[in-house]
C-alpha cells in the first residue's frame, strides 16, 4: 500500500540485536531486542516484527521457533513474514485487521506443516488500534500490560502444563519457574490442532506499558521483577535493565539461568 510506505516496519529474523533499540510511532514508542542463546553456535531461532499497517494501527509480534535449528528458525521466520504480508494487504482485501491477522497465522500454520520437517513456533502478538489493544497468542511466549504504578492490567495464560497449573492455582509462579517440565509447550504453530487465543479489546491508558517476550526472558526473570523494571522510566532504559539482569546471570554462571534465545518488545502510549 503506497500510503503506508513511510510507516515503521521492523522485521528481525535470525538476527542478534543485543543492545535495545527504539522507534517512535504516532501511537507510541516501541523498544526491542533479540539475542541468540550464549550456548548456541547457530542462528537465533526467535523472530520479531514491528509493523504499522496504517496511521491508526500497530502490530507487534515475537515468535520462538521450536524443533531445533534450522527448522525452528524457519518456522518463526515464516510466521512473522506471513503476519507482515497480512498487514500489508488487509485493506486491499477489504478485511478487518483482526481477520487478516488470524488468516495470516493460519496460513503460516499450514505452510509450516507443509514443510514436513518437524518445524513449529510459538507466537505472542498484539494489535494496537488507536488506544485499544487486542492480544493473539499460541504457546508459551508471553504478553503483559502494566500500569505506571505497577498494576497488572492484562496477562496471557501460557499454553503449557505449568502455565495452566499456575492459572488454576495448582502451582505458584516460583514453583513453575523451577519445574522440570517448564520447557514443555502444549500448543504451537505448525500442528493440525493449533489454536489461537485472542483477547477482547482492552483500552490502554497513557503510560501503560505492553510487553511481549519469548520464554528466554520470562523463564529467567520473575514477573514481579519484570513489572517493576518496565512500569516507568524511558522505555529503552527499561528494556536495557532486563537485558542486564539476564547478562548478569550469564556472566555469574547463575545456576538458575535457563539458556535460550531471548526476545522482547515493549510499547508505551505517548498520549
Task: Please state the rounded mean pLDDT for residues 66-83.
Answer: 87
For residues 271 and 267, what is the distance between their CA atoms, to the nearest angstrom? 13
Distance from chain centroid for Cα 212: 4
For residues 56 and 257, what is the distance between their CA atoms, to the nearest angstrom? 40
Q: Is the pTM of this model over 0.85?
A: yes
pLDDT computed for residue 80 by the predictor: 95
Q: Cell digits for 75?
A: 518456522
Domains of the chain: 2-269 (3.60.40.10)
> Do residues 51 and 83 lie in contact, with contact meaning Cβ atoms separated by under 8 Å?
yes
For 164-185, how does the pLDDT look when each residue is reduced to its tens digit (9 = 90+)? 666 777 777 776 667 666 677 8
Task: Please state the rounded mean pLDDT for residues 117-141.
Answer: 95
Q: State the sign of the Cα–Cα–Cα–Cα dihedral 179, 176, 211, 4.
A: positive
> Do residues 264 and 213 lie in contact, with contact meaning Cβ atoms separated by under 8 Å?
yes
| Cα distance from N-terminal residue to C-terminal residue, the chain | 27
Amino acid at each position: 500500500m503506497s500510503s503506508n510506505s513511510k510507516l515503521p516496519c521492523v522485521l528481525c529474523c535470525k538476527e542478534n540485536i543485543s543492545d535495545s533499540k527504539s522507534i517512535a510511532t504516532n501511537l507510541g514508542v516501541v523498544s526491542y531486542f533479540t539475542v541468540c542463546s550464549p550456548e548456541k553456535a547457530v542462528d537465533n531461532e526467535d523472530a520479531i516484527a514491528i509493523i504499522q499497517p496504517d496511521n491508526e494501527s500497530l502490530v507487534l509480534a515475537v515468535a520462538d521457533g521450536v524443533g531445533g535449528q534450522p527448522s525452528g528458525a524457519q518456522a518463526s521466520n515464516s510466521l512473522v513474514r506471513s503476519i507482515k504480508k497480512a498487514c500489508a494487504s488487509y485493506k486491499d482485501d477489504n478485511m478487518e485487521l483482526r481477520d487478516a491477522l488470524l488468516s495470516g497465522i493460519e496460513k503460516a500454520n499450514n505452510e509450516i506443516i507443509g514443510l514436513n520437517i518437524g518445524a513449529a513456533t510459538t507466537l505472542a502478538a498484539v494489535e494496537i488500534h488507536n488506544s485499544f489493544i487486542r492480544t493473539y497468542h499460541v504457546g508459551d511466549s508471553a504478553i503483559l500490560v502494566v500500569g505506571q504504578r505497577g498494576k497488572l492490567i492484562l496477562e496471557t495464560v501460557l499454553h503449557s502444563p505449568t502455565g495452566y497449573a499456575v492459572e488454576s492455582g495448582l502451582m505458584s509462579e516460583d514453583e513453575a519457574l523451577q519445574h522440570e517440565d517448564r520447557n514443555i509447550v502444549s500448543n504451537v504453530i505448525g500442528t493440525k490442532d493449533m489454536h489461537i487465543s485472542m483477547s477482547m479489546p482492552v483500552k490502554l491508558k497513557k503510560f501503560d506499558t505492553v510487553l511481549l517476550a519469548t520464554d528466554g526472558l520470562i523463564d529467567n526473570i520473575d514477573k514481579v521483577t519484570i513489572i517493576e523494571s518496565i512500569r516507568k522510566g524511558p522505555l529503552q532504559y527499561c528494556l536495557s535493565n532486563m537485558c542486564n539482569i539476564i547478562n548478569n546471570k550469564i556472566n555469574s554462571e547463575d545456576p538458575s539461568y535457563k539458556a535460550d534465545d531471548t526476545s522482547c518488545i515493549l510499547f508505551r502510549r505517548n498520549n
